[in-house]
Amino acid sequence: MSDNAFLLEMRAITKTFPGVNALDDVNLAVRAAEIHAVVGENGAGKSTLMKVLSGVYPAGSYTGEIRFDGETRRFRGIADSEALGIIIIHQELALVPLLSIAENIFLGNETARRGIIDWGEAWRRTGELLAKVGLKQRPTTLVTDLGVGQQQLVEIAKALSKKVRLLILDEPTASLNESDSDALLALLLELKAQGIASILISHKLGEIAKVADSITVLRDGGTVETLDCRAAPISEDRIIRGMVGRDMAHRYPERSPRIGERVLEVSNWRVHHAQHADREQIKGVDLHVCRGEIVGIAGLMGAGRTEFAMSVFGRSYGQRISGTVRMHGREVDVSTIRKAIDHGIAYVTEDRKGAGLVLEEDIRTNISLANLEAVSDAMVIDEGREYQVANDYRRALRIRCADVYQQVVNLSGGNQQKVVLSKWLFAHPELLILDEPTRGIDVGAKYEIYTIVDRLASEGKGILMISSEMPELLGMCDRIYVMNEGRFVAEFPAAQASQERIMRAIVNAGGGGHGQ
């Protein structure tokens, strides 16, 4: 194939950081109007390669050549790449929470006439863009009032507002439920039909198999292979073999549950919206979790799963909260996070970077945060004891790092998640709430997380798992609640659960209720 058949070529890209060779002689070639997936385990170099391409890492900070439209390019920053129509949407959202959707979309690219912003035009264009990405919100809605998944759609709308020729999406569906993910993939196919190329980075291999024309596999900072999906369908197992260098016969550990007495009981739990006190979000739900049991909560985005979990964990979400929480049959006060922790409840947030970790601090400091008393004497931290605790968890959870003094911002997503888990395990909980525990994590690291969760259950912990990936719930859970519009509308033992039955329960929920 001739050179001019490619819209983009990245040749022999090498990028180093102190002590780390992040990219080693990487090659990537993208045709015009194709969807090109880039896959690999966390730490394989995917995001680093895209930051080189977009100018986040400017020319001179790496070696190798970037060719776009047949010409060699040297991007000094994002403005240079955007001027050519290369638009990147990072995994970490870059929105201003207290500005409206319209203001965020056109920030730095304002719709102005004679130096005065034309708000009517901005709102009109925003409405068109929101319709295109399937977000049913007003242009004047503040970003802070949107969920993580909705904010991701705003980022995509912002990218589409520019004259994009190559759209780079780094884990665009990580925060989206299945229906919203399908809508986004359909949008990428529509953009492809309009002549727009896309680079899609995703750990959701099923999505990649649906839409990708080509797949480039990275491993340990190098290019392993590029697969042509147009010649023949590429299976998920084939992609995994390239990513991890081996076959994975089982995606989930074999479970032999030993379920004991009830650890947690939540009765008639009601929660009103954090900003709008007249809006009831959680509507009188009942739930229980037993020792050694992994219980799942399935539901579409906006069903109230995270709001429920956070409200139980020290009322960290909502207002006008009522109902009872019992641990081992005894009613307990969970009105603050400290009280919830003291009663043996821990919550692993879906937003590990924003709410689960102090990114600029080291592993050692993050792990001890939820139980500082255990590493302190007379309110003074014993650094030796803190180091020992962190090192023990590093070994037990196989956190890949130079040492426990490494900043967590420099860890891969899977290793960051292990640090969050370590933090809460050090608090010695009896009930562990996991909210999207494998979001943004590659298939190899997912299995490690699943193994840790299975081990905790086997040790007698009660596990409550929230996930937007139904195969994950079906593969891990002993029992699954189905939530819709703030109510549990069905409950299935593992043997009776299926994606079809769960979706049917959601669709048929109507006015709510509880049953099979």
Res 513: pLDDT: 40
Sequence spans of domains, the chain = 3-244, 260-344+430-516, 360-428
The domain 3-244 is placed in CATH, from the list 3.30.1370.10, 3.40.50.300, 3.90.226.10, 1.20.1250.20, at 3.40.50.300
3-state secondary structure of 443: helix
CATH class label, 260-344+430-516: alpha beta
User: pLDDT digits over 368-387, tens only?
Assistant: 998 989 999 888 999 999 99
Tell me the range of 105-119, 199-213, 314-328 where mean pLDDT is highest.
314-328
H-helix segments, 277-430: 305-312, 337-342, 363-368, 383-396, 413-425
The pLDDT-based confidence of 3 (bands split at 50, 70, 90) is very low
Give the bridge partners for 215, in sequence order. 37, 227
**Res 514 pLDDT > 70:** no
**Is 260-344+430-516 the same fold as 3-244?**
yes
Q: Which two tokens stand for residue 90?
A: 């990072």
3-state secondary structure of 150: helix
How far CA 22 is from CA of 19, 223, 301, in Å, comes to 9, 12, 35
465 CB-near residues (< 8 Å, 6+ apart): 294, 295, 296, 297, 434, 437, 453, 472, 473, 476, 477
Give the bridge partners for 93, in sequence order. none
pTM of the complete model: 0.65
User: pLDDT digits over 406-455, tens only?
Assistant: 999 888 878 898 999 999 999 999 999 999 988 877 777 788 889 999 99
3-state secondary structure of 86: strand
Q: What is the pLDDT averaged over residues 492-511?
A: 82
Query: CA-CA distance, 473 to 485, in Å (whole number)?
Result: 19
Q: Which two tokens stand for residue 269?
A: 């739990």
User: pLDDT digits over 189-214, tens only?
Assistant: 988 998 999 999 988 888 898 899 99
